[in-house]
Every structure is written in C-alpha cells, then in structure tokens.
Amino acid sequence: MLCHICNTLVKSFTHTKNEILYYHCEPCQYIFKSPLYYQDFSSQKERYNLHTNHEEDLGYIAYFQRFLDFVLPHIDMPKNALDFGCGRSSLLASLLIKSGIDCDYYDPIYHPKTLDESKKYDLIVSTEVFEHLHQPRKVFEDLIQRLTPKGYLAIQTQFHPNDEEAFKNWYYHQDPTHIVFFRAETFKILAHKYHCEYLMDNDKNMVIIQKTKGI
C-alpha cells in the first residue's frame, strides 16, 4: 500500500479493540484507515444529521471565531472567500462576511450546487473536513487551483499524536466518518508538492498555506 500523500510505501497496524486496519506513512506522518471502512455520502449524512449545532449557539459561534482569530491576523485582507465543506450551516461564511469578506459556501452533501467552477478566491477555509476525505491530495490540489495568485488556504483538522499506541487511545478516530489523519508535516509536504508556501500552524489543528505559483 502506498501513501495517498507522498506515494511512499506505508506500514500497517491494527487497533486491538475495534480491529480496524490503519496505514501509517512515517515520512509525511499521514495515517489512514483501510478503504474497507470508508463511508458513502448517505452513511456520512446519517452521522452528520446527529449534530445539533445551531447558528445562534454562542459556543458554536466562538468555535469558528477561534479559527478566524488564528487565520485572519496572519494573512493579507482577502476580498473574497470560500467555506469548503461547510456542512448544513453557513455560519462561518456569515462571520467572514461580518469581517468584510465576501464569502461563498459549499458542501457536497448539504449544498452541492453552490460551487462556481470558474470562480477564484483570495481565501479558502475548510474546518473539520479533511479528516473525512477519501482523496485528500486531490481535494488539496483542487482547492489550490481555486485560489487567486498569492491566495490562502486555511485548514482545521486535529493533528494526530504520531505514535501508534497513543493513536489507538486518541478520541478523534473513533468517529466512523473520520478516515484520514494529518500532522503539520503532512501539510508541509502537500504545500511543497503544489508549489505553495507553508506559512504557519498552531501545533494542534490549524494550518495556513499560501499559493505561490499557478497550477
């Protein structure tokens, strides 16, 4: 089995409690479940529909505001943005609009017809999306292509502990829709592959990448 990110040969390990097979790429620090455990959109939607987040919920607002408080001070003010994988809610897009940034939103399950294929963005944000992706490198490339020159991609997904025994006790992979797991190093390799500059991360779950060349 080859790594989805860097095409390196990966090693495997099995979680002793749930017997799920995982693959671990040591060079780029990417971990993914066996494709046997990947879920289709219908199964994923059943899980997502259990979420009870509402746009008026102060905690939900604060959750997205923490993300914006990390991202916006470190980038040039964008004119427009895209929230990729927004889920049912357009709350993050609304917060960006309140910040003076025109923002579209898209989700393949809940808002599948909102994406303008010809439009370019100064900023693309994607929160708690990448851990669900069957083809994360392809999606990363597509998002970079949707950026304007010098545009920014900001991602939020929990960084795994990069230790197989610690990983087994980690809460994040217990969600059955979470199938791929990243570290900062993973995104650094993706950024380099697609001619981007890796600007920074928070050493936990957020990264900012800037496009530097056209692809």
User: What's the whole-model pTM score?
Assistant: 0.94
Domains defined along the chain, listed by start: 11-211 (3.40.50.150)
Average pLDDT over residues 66-89: 96
CA separation for the pair 64, 77 (Å, rounded) = 18
Residues in the chain: 215
Average of per-residue pLDDT values in the chain: 93
- pLDDT tens sequence across 9-58: 999 999 988 899 999 999 999 999 999 999 887 777 777 776 656 676 78
- pLDDT tens sequence across 86-139: 988 899 999 999 999 999 999 999 999 999 999 999 999 999 999 999 999 999
CA separation for the pair 89, 105 (Å, rounded) = 9
> What is the strand order of the sheet 196-201 is part of?
102-106, 80-84, 121-127, 147-156, 206-211, 196-201
Tokens of 210: 């800037």
Average pLDDT over residues 196-212: 97
CA separation for the pair 123, 75 (Å, rounded) = 9
Residue % of the chain over a pLDDT of 90: 84
